[in-house]
Structure 1
């Protein structure tokens, strides 16, 4: 929780309207006129124009704004950073965030004042966004984003912060951490999740209407998605446990980021080859892990880049002569392909500094490959591995006992048919036992203390689940020991 900055001089108004002048799209004058045309009493609100260092029309701005607004200057070049700076300078009980390419209708302030009186349970609310389109791509862009906005405002349980037109109590904004510039536009989702996790309600005020200008340029779309993805990956890399962090979806590119570890991929590849099950499924696995073992993430990154490039070319052609529906469909495909590529690209950029990629499986697990995201079964959290998986262990050298907790989702553990390998050498059945829902392996770790444990098992065919599922893993623990302490005999004895 951040401390609420003291009011920035003078008597505090009810609202502080914060308008960042970055990305104004040539619309800032219309936006300004919309605010000066409000029917509400002007004494109820202050207007803060936050000016980035490269704003080109400063003289015109000063002449137009005159004494009707406060100009705040900052070195930030991002509209989220400008909003955050403006919030720190604001005096109002309510902060009103908007964008300089958004024009409010004249009764917006009156509608907001009525909402505050009628809905004291709302800690904040977003207003209605009405698209302004001027070319074929902007029409498709608006259709795509308006559908997402509509879903967030009316159906999603918490994703209701819309920086085009968001009003919030100033104290709650700071309690929930405020907007973080380094997260780009992903900061809106982080803030919305924090409000929800702390029990604050964000409403949707449809009668307060803003006209939002869609630029309709592919390059701008690419820049915006990269900004969002960079913030998303940065936030995930911080591994924070702030209220609301558990609400944010984990993209598959992040949950599977360890798959591109070449050493682990080679171990998973070797485990599948040594397991002796070269069926159609096995050939698919060999191709998957073999490609990573040879090229790391280069093949996947190159393929994702080609896919995004092809989608962009298709979109460019369609904007010349395609129907509206075909442009919308192609735009969605392009954005999905672009986000996939950008996530892989951003993860590659920080992979070397991540470290501890598998800490959530156990303190001694420092890297992993071949795992799906966390899920819950009968109240217990676990991760499905693929039919081939590998983890890097760091523990004291010598005799060790490794417990792999595995919920019996696919039946008794001794019937799964899993084979374990330590640094490429098959772990003998006699050194593997089952105890209290866990595989218990008695192994000798090398003098370095670091080793790769891999396994292979038949694929588990779950109903309506296309994923390649192998072993459910709730956690992995490594301890020193001489003997396997369990009540069950070794797997070899049970199979016999």
Structure 2
């Protein structure tokens, strides 16, 4: 940041305070009084009140604001859109984004000026949020979100844009693309990632305090999470390569979106039934849990996952309502977190389903020739390898040239040497003969025929592996799957002479 005095020319204000009047929760008058009680000279800042079309107290607003603020009217109905519009009207060297249900303490502007002078390396900073609670649910809501805010401000390397109270250099905000209304509140994360990727530092000014009103209503909680999730899935579906896009976490619901089809699940179920249940491995309970895991998606496709996610969200909400009425504070906090987690999963799956084909092809490290997949955990890094654990049963849809094809499944030997793991492969439901599988130190090389379409489903099954302190059902660590031309030299060496065939 530059010195504050160098940026203030006496003609334009130093700060443009942008207050969207959507979602004010009945607190906009208190917010306004907080800004008009600042100890700093009023010539240093302008207040821009951005008014949505459904704001009903317009005459009261005009009477209260008088000449102390500029009113900007827009058709946008989302507070992120209102903030973005207000930024286009701002004259200040610094933009100060806040919310109309947040009240600043009187010394906020003075503290911000000092921070600009004291931290020339900051391109922006967020202030401290102090919760205002008025019922038991709002206490639990505040505790949940405050923990997330504290983590972002003090521990996370870049997630430091908090629209309750965020100050930024105007030019850097424009350089980084600004707030995108269509992304909802996920736009804060996208903007924060862009700042970090472009080398701009965002600080945390803990002594500058805002009082944030938590509404404590389940319906509004649900709407907020949906807004965030819709923006998240929309952004991922765009497959943009903006600065910072690589920093954003990919939720497992997105990375496994191709698992919605029943066909892949049927191939995984076939692999399970033809291997595990026939060889006596594992206990009966474990076997039938595995059958149940694949039978539901094999029969229902993505409808099953969405249905179970909906039921989980409904159940968590019902318990939350009950404990809010008669439970302890700890129980309310615990079920609040469970409800939000279940709700986010349900909403993600619904958003991806509504996108349909617009969700785009599968991406990730499995390889360009993998067009769909099922039975994989999230990407991770260990022992020098980036990979995804498969479940003991998994299936991928691969695409290559029709006819004789070599496929290499790259699998670092993290659980045991590959030749000691009883792994069986299947293509379009037919077992690949053992002599058509070459097991190396870190890969399986398969010789098989692809149909005229060049598309086939490769599935496998192996004994289940449990990591230390890991409750997941693990199969093979998969670093990638190579199909076709890059495997020709393996075929010409005569190491995989046989084709897939029935047992």
Which residue is 1:285 aligned to?
290
Distance in 1 separating the partners of 2:489 and 2:210: 70
Distance in 1 separating the partners of 2:446 and 2:127: 58
Let me know the Cα RMSD of the aligned residues. Answer: 2.3
**Secondary structure at 1:485's aligned position in 2?**
helix
TM-superposed deviation, 1:48? 1.1
**Deviations 1:464-493 (CA, angstroms, capped at 9, x unpaired):** 22222112222112215878437695599x
Which residue is 2:72 aligned to?
72
Distance in 2 separating the partners of 1:184 and 1:255: 21
Which residue is 1:223 aligned to?
223
**Deviations 1:151-171 (CA, angstroms, capped at 9, x unpaired):** 222222222111100111112
Distance in 1 separating the partners of 2:497 and 2:295: 30
* 1:409 equivalent in alignment to 2:403: no
Question: In structure 2, do the counterparts of structure 1 residues 88 and 488 end up closer, same or farther at CA, with 3 Å as the change threshold?
Answer: farther
Distance in 2 separating the partners of 1:169 and 1:219: 35
Which residue is 1:384 aligned to?
389
Superposition map of 1:160-239 within 5 A? 160-239=160-239
Which residue is 1:126 aligned to?
126
Which residue is 1:90 aligned to?
90
Selected match of 2:491 from 459, 464, 485: 485
TM-superposed deviation, 1:28? 1.0
Distance in 1 separating the partners of 2:279 and 2:83: 58
- Contiguous gaps of at least 5 residues in structure 1: 1-9
Superposition map of 1:44-123 within 5 A? 44-123=44-123
* 1:17 equivalent in alignment to 2:23: no
Which residue is 2:337 aligned to?
332
Higher mean alpha-carbon deviation, 431-440 vs 292-301, is at: 431-440
Q: Normalising to structure 2: TM-score of the pair?
A: 0.91
**Deviations 1:1-43 (CA, angstroms, capped at 9, x unpaired):** xxxxxxxxx9432111111110011111111121111111111
User: Is the 2:391–2:476 contact (alpha carbons within 8 Å) kept by the matching residues of 1?
Assistant: yes
User: Is the 2:446–2:496 contact (alpha carbons within 8 Å) kept by the matching residues of 1?
Assistant: no
Which residue is 2:150 aligned to?
150
Which residue is 2:362 aligned to?
357
Distance in 1 separating the partners of 2:478 and 2:322: 47
User: Is the 1:365–1:392 contact (alpha carbons within 8 Å) kept by the matching residues of 2?
Assistant: yes
User: Is the 2:141–2:214 contact (alpha carbons within 8 Å) kept by the matching residues of 1?
Assistant: yes
Which residue is 1:432 aligned to?
437
User: Is the 1:141–1:331 contact (alpha carbons within 8 Å) kept by the matching residues of 2?
Assistant: yes
Higher mean alpha-carbon deviation, 247-256 vs 367-376, is at: 247-256
**Deviations 1:109-160 (CA, angstroms, capped at 9, x unpaired):** 0111111111111111111111112222222222222222222222222221
Distance in 2 separating the partners of 1:286 and 1:139: 43
Superposition map of 1:367-382 within 5 A? 367-382=372-387
Which residue is 2:318 aligned to?
313
Question: In structure 2, do the counterparts of structure 1 residues 255 and 46 end up closer, same or farther at CA, with 3 Å as the change threshold?
Answer: same
**Secondary structure at 1:459's aligned position in 2?**
coil
TM-superposed deviation, 1:370? 0.9
Distance in 1 separating the partners of 2:27 and 2:123: 30
- Contiguous gaps of at least 5 residues in structure 2: 1-9, 499-503
Question: In structure 2, do the counterparts of structure 1 residues 461 and 332 end up closer, same or farther at CA, with 3 Å as the change threshold?
Answer: closer
TM-superposed deviation, 1:436? 7.0
TM-superposed deviation, 1:65? 1.8
Distance in 1 separating the partners of 2:335 and 2:471: 25
Distance in 2 separating the partners of 1:402 and 1:101: 58
Question: In structure 2, do the counterparts of structure 1 residues 32 and 282 end up closer, same or farther at CA, with 3 Å as the change threshold?
Answer: same
TM-superposed deviation, 1:334? 1.6
**Secondary structure at 1:29's aligned position in 2?**
helix
Question: In structure 2, do the counterparts of structure 1 residues 291 and 342 end up closer, same or farther at CA, with 3 Å as the change threshold?
Answer: same
User: Is the 1:260–1:292 contact (alpha carbons within 8 Å) kept by the matching residues of 2?
Assistant: yes
**Secondary structure at 2:425's aligned position in 1?**
strand
Distance in 1 separating the partners of 2:105 and 2:171: 27
Q: Normalising to structure 1: TM-score of the pair?
A: 0.92
User: Is the 1:93–1:169 contact (alpha carbons within 8 Å) kept by the matching residues of 2?
Assistant: yes
